[in-house]
Each structure stands twice: as C-alpha cells, then as structure tokens.
Chains A and B, each alone.
Chain A
Amino acid sequence: MNRALLDEFSNRELVQGLAKQIARLAEGRETPLTFMEVCGTHTMSIYQYGIRSLLPDKVRLISGPGCPVCVTPVGYVDKAVAYARQTNIIIATFGDMLRVPGSSSCLMQERALGADIRIVYSPLDALALAGKNPEKQIIFLGVGFETTAPTIAGTILSAASRGIENFFILAAHKTIPIPMSILSDDPELAIDGYLCPAHVSTIIGAEAYRFLAEEHGVPCVVTGFEPADILQGVAMLVTQVVEGRSTVENQYRRFVLPEGNPKAKEFLTRVFVPSDAAWRGLGVIPGSGLAIAPEFARFDAEKALPVTVEKPREPEGCCCGEVLKGKITPFDCPLFGTACTPEQPVGACMVSSEGSCAAAYKYGQ
C-alpha cells in the first residue's frame, strides 16, 4: 500500500467508468431513484467532486441529518454560550461549532466579545489545555456521532486515570441508526436506499444497519468517502433496487468490518449510556443520544458546573428540519441565500461547513 494506491480511489477514469455503469443500470427505469446519505463527509465529498453532475437524472442523492453540528439544538449552543461568558472557563471545541446560531448569540460572537474559546483538532488537545491551565475549568463541546463519541470516551478515561479535575464535557453525542429508521418509515420521503456513513461504520460495523434492510426494507450500502467509493456505493444500491433485493452491503471493506471496532464500542458502553436526544429540526428521538454515565458524572459539565441559561428560541421561518429530513433541498427553503447565508446564518444547516445548505451555497448547482 502506498499513496499512489490510496489515490486510485479518486482516479478519474475509474470514476467515469462507474458513472457509466450507473447510467446503464438505471436505463429504462421510469421512476427516479432517491438515495439518502447521512454523513456530512459524504455531503462534502459529493459537492466537492461534483458527483451529482456525473449521475443520470433519474438517480437522485439527497442529504439527511448526517451533520452532528447541524442537528445540535439551539439550547445546547445557548448553554455553551452561557459557560463561555464565565471568566474562569475555557471552552475548547471543534471549529465547526463556532458559528452555530443560538437563541441570541453564537460562540464566534462571544469570542469577539472576549470569551476564551479555543479551536482544537482533538479532545486530547483540550485535555492538554486543562493541564496547562490548572486555575481554569476547561469544557470541551462533545458533539458528534459514533465516530467521535469514543474519542471523547477515551479522553474521559484518560482524564480519570490521571486524576485531572478541571476537565469537563458538555455532551451532545448522538447515534445514527435510529433516526435512519424513522426517516425510512416516513411515507413522504420514499427513500430507495441508504449510502451508510463511512466512518461511523468503522465503529458500529456494517451489521448495525441490517435491521434497516431486513425489517424496514431499505437497501443499505456502507460507502467510503472518496469519489470512486461513492459512485461504487451508488452502483451497488441501484443494483439492489433493480434486482429487487434489500440487504446490507459493504463497499468500504478496506476499513469497515461487519462487527466494527469492538474496543471503541466498549469505550462507548463504559463511558456513555443511551439517552433521549433532541435533534434540531427532528424533535426528541428516544434512545438516540449518548449521555455521560453516572460513574463519570464528575466530568459532565451539566452536572458538575452550575450555569443559568436563557430560554431557547427557535428561529422563525427556518426550514432546517425539512432539509435535514431530506424533504426539501436547501434551494427550496425561502430563507436560503437571502435571510440565511453563511455569514449571517439562521439555521445550523447553513452554518456547519458540511451542512447541506452551506455546501449547496458554496458549491451550488
């Protein structure tokens, strides 16, 4: 294995060959096919490479709620803002969270007003901040799906074993399979198949989607994020539909195992417990969240650090919910490009750099 071989997954000729295969498979179909991807990295990759322009008209790709930043509720941002305003607190966060709108402010604005908010690449960097700033409380914004949650779990375990007392997580982790089942049962959506996430699947495994294919009748293909991966994943979905099958297939076998990553899954069960989670635009979905387990409550910002938060207010006219469910495209939202733009976003879909609306705005059609 070397760089050149890795690059093959974005090889132009292979991509063009796969595009032709999809066109052949879809030929003669009367009804269009709609496939949903639920992974922000897929959303970005599809836009960045112009994948839609390579597909025949009757094969549609829509984006679902695959961006954990986009589905973070207003109330969570309000809480982060409230903490940021306390002078003894340093907020450490992934860059994506900075511009997500809260009820009346956002972290970027708070930073402009003097709050100590640091962008980090890894939660371990946030833990290092705790070591370097013993007089402050460091709160890491724990947002993400099953790819990121184990990294936070690992960081908490590391903090525990080192006896660090000034490190906290404001947890808003979510899991993806349950929302996928809710969306697939939605009669208004008519999803013909799922491009299952690339990296969440390395953790939860390809088998995690079997219930979707067998009990909900939706073809599933675990797909990598390189352009050739995405096209091969789409080809496999079209094939399933054409052959009248509904099963789980794994296109990303070079990194995804049927059972996923058992050690990472064990981290999740050790540090988190399933909870009901509020999804921006989708409401509360039972069992779709990960809350910090009682044993680690001392690292849970909400339990350990008191704060008063304003009552959350959802923005008027925001259609993020419909966009996140894939019911409308960003371009259908009346606020898109006018009242809601990347620099003055109303909803989270426009704010997160991999949100459907932000991607649509940047890469356009």
Chain B
Amino acid sequence: MDKDLILLGHGSGGRLSHQLLDELIIPTLSGISTTGQNDAAILHHDGRRIAFTTDSYVVDPIFFPGGNIGHLAINGTVNDLAMVGAQPIAISVGLIMEEGFSRSALAEILRSMREAADLAGVVIAAGDTKVVPRGKADRIFINTSGIGYFRHELEIGGANARVGDKILINGTIGDHGVAVMAKREGLELDTDILSDCAPLNGLVESLLEEGAAIHVLRDPTRGGVATTLKEIAIQSNVSISLDEVSLPLKGAVRGVCAVLGLDPLYVANEGKVLAIVAPDVAERVLERMKGHPLGRDAAIIGEVTDGIGGKVRMETLVGGTRAVEMLAGEQLPRIC
C-alpha cells in the first residue's frame, strides 16, 4: 500500500490517527511528549494557567438528527476545555465554504452556534470567513479554537488514573455516531435516534467540587468509549476493567448497531464525559451526574485495576471476558 498517502483513517481518531500524530505531526510541530496529550493544552503564563484548544469540523451530513455542524463546532471545543478542568471563556470561528453553499443553511448553522455558545456561557470573540471554488471543499468546514481559565489548582489529565479508581459516564453511548450513520445515503434506516451533542462545562463544574478526587475527564468522541479508555490506560500505564452490563445503551442504538454490524463501544459521542475518580467519591459523583440534566442515565461502568499497563478488558453481557483494543480506521458497516 502506498505509504505516502493520507487516508480517511488518519483522521478518524483511532490507531491510524495516533500513528500520524506520533510519527509526524507532533514531533515536527512541537517538542511535547506524545504521551502528554490531553483535550486542551495548558499554558503557563505569568504564574497563571490558560487552557487552549482547537478543532475542525468536517462532518457529513452537516445537518443530522438532533443538531448540525454548528452545534458540534461550539460544543466540541467547549468540551475540550472542560475536560482539562478549565472554564471556557471565548471561542473563535473559522468558516471555509464551498462556492454554491446555501446562505440559508449558513444562517441556520450560525444561529445554532450562537445558541450553543449562549448555553455554554461563552462568547464568540473572533472569526474568519473564506469561500473556495466549487469542488474544493465539501459544502462547509468549520474550525473553532477556544480559551479557558482555571478557578482551581487541580491537575486533571489522562495520566492521572490510579489503581482502584472508578470509571463513570454521564449517559448512553453511541447516540451521535449512530444518529449520523443511520441517515447516510445507502444505509437509510428509519429511527428516532438523536445526536447527544451538548456542552458539558456545566456538568463538569459540579463534578470539580469533589476536588482532587477527580483524576481524569475525557469526552469519548471519535473512536468511542473503547478508544478513549484505551488511550487513558496507556497514558496512565494502568489496566482498565469494564462491565458491559452497566454500559448505558439506548435500545434503538443497539438496534442500529445490530443491523449494520457496528460495535457501540467504538461509536462517537458528542455529549458524554468519562470521569475517572477516587473510589470513595464514586457514588457521590454518580449522584452529582444524575442530578444534572445531561447526566440522568449516568452509571459506574468499570474500574482501574492492577495489571499490565495499557490493557482494557471487559466482562461481557453473558459473563465471558474479552479484550478491548483501539479502533483501526473508520468502523464500516458490515454485511458478513
């Protein structure tokens, strides 16, 4: 296979993406250790910490059940800041549109962005707009960058998981990815599933009141819960054990996954946070999550165990055990 080619899998968040980042992008752009990656960068300036992050949104379809690219673009960046424990303040928006794109579609996307920003309590402070010739972009691409500040001294990051910690999630898995895939041409399935796209900074703020007992926060976006936990297991050099029975899963998501041959553990989420916390606060954190509108279906889904670093195992629905590895490339619907 031609190794000079950049493939779709390089951008999908799984193993191929990590390879590209680790082998080329990070070494070239900065000296930061490849194991130190979190959802946002933490900069130290004048004795204070600032969180800074960026993300680009190239989704297809741009309008999907439960939201659109505008919601994603704001919430995604807000959430990246929240995951390192920062309070998001401001977002910048870069729009790249293909000539011929609909102005009314743009208007709706912009309204969604404003709506999302207001909900998250952030201001859209800077932006840029470009239009490229027809065929040079897929309708609209959006980049958002965000800054946040810290109201505390807590160190939250992917390397902080400790043996004995409990792993929680604030709700059902796979909603976003399935909502999007079910509507793709060629796979049209009739379903009510909506994307779970939402800003998590409010929920996270209430969790941070538990202080230093909150060790890791991460949103399982591309690559799903499986890939995210695998990343954390590697970063923290711990073993993780999951309990499939306790994974919150909507029936309809299970149904679509059964029909298309997908594994919900690997499907993207846009309104979920994985929290890895000290065992003595786990029940309290669960209650905090459940007390928040975005956490009604929260659950404790596993724990950090003694064992070989980087391994994730799951006790299956029927009591067997299986390993959980990282996704390679995009998960494709299968027939066989």
Contacts and interface: CB of A to CB of B under 8 A. Distances in A.
B133 interface: no
Contacts of B317: 10, 12, 49, 227
Contact of A53 (B2, B245, B320): B320
Contacts of A121: 186-187, 259-260, 333, 335
B187 A344 contact: no
B131 to A, nearest CB: 23
A112 B3 CA distance: 13
A54 interface: yes
Interface string A238-262: 0000000000000000000000000
Contacts of B251: 3
Contacts of B314: 50
Contact of B328 (A111, A113, A342, A354): A342
B336 A49 contact: no
Q: Which size class do B's interface residues fall under? A: 35 or more
A353 B334 contact: yes
Contacts of A94: 333-336
Contacts, number: 134
Contacts of B331: 353
A15 B328 contact: no
Contact of A95 (B2, B8, B319, B335): B335
A176 to B, nearest CB: 12
B322 A361 contact: no
A99 B329 contact: yes
B248 interface: no
B246 interface: no
Nearest to A102: B1
Nearest to B255: A3
Given A49-B317, A341-B328, A353-B334, A109 B261 contact: no
17 contacts: A10-B317, A12-B245, A49-B316, A50-B318, A53-B320, A104-B1, A106-B1, A108-B7, A109-B5, A112-B5, A121-B259, A121-B260, A342-B329, A353-B331, A362-B325, A363-B322, A363-B325
A158 interface: no
A125 B188 CA distance: 10
A88 interface: no
- The list of the 9 closest CB pairs from A to B, nearest first, reads A50-B320, A364-B323, A342-B328, A95-B332, A94-B335, A15-B318, A50-B322, A343-B328, A120-B186
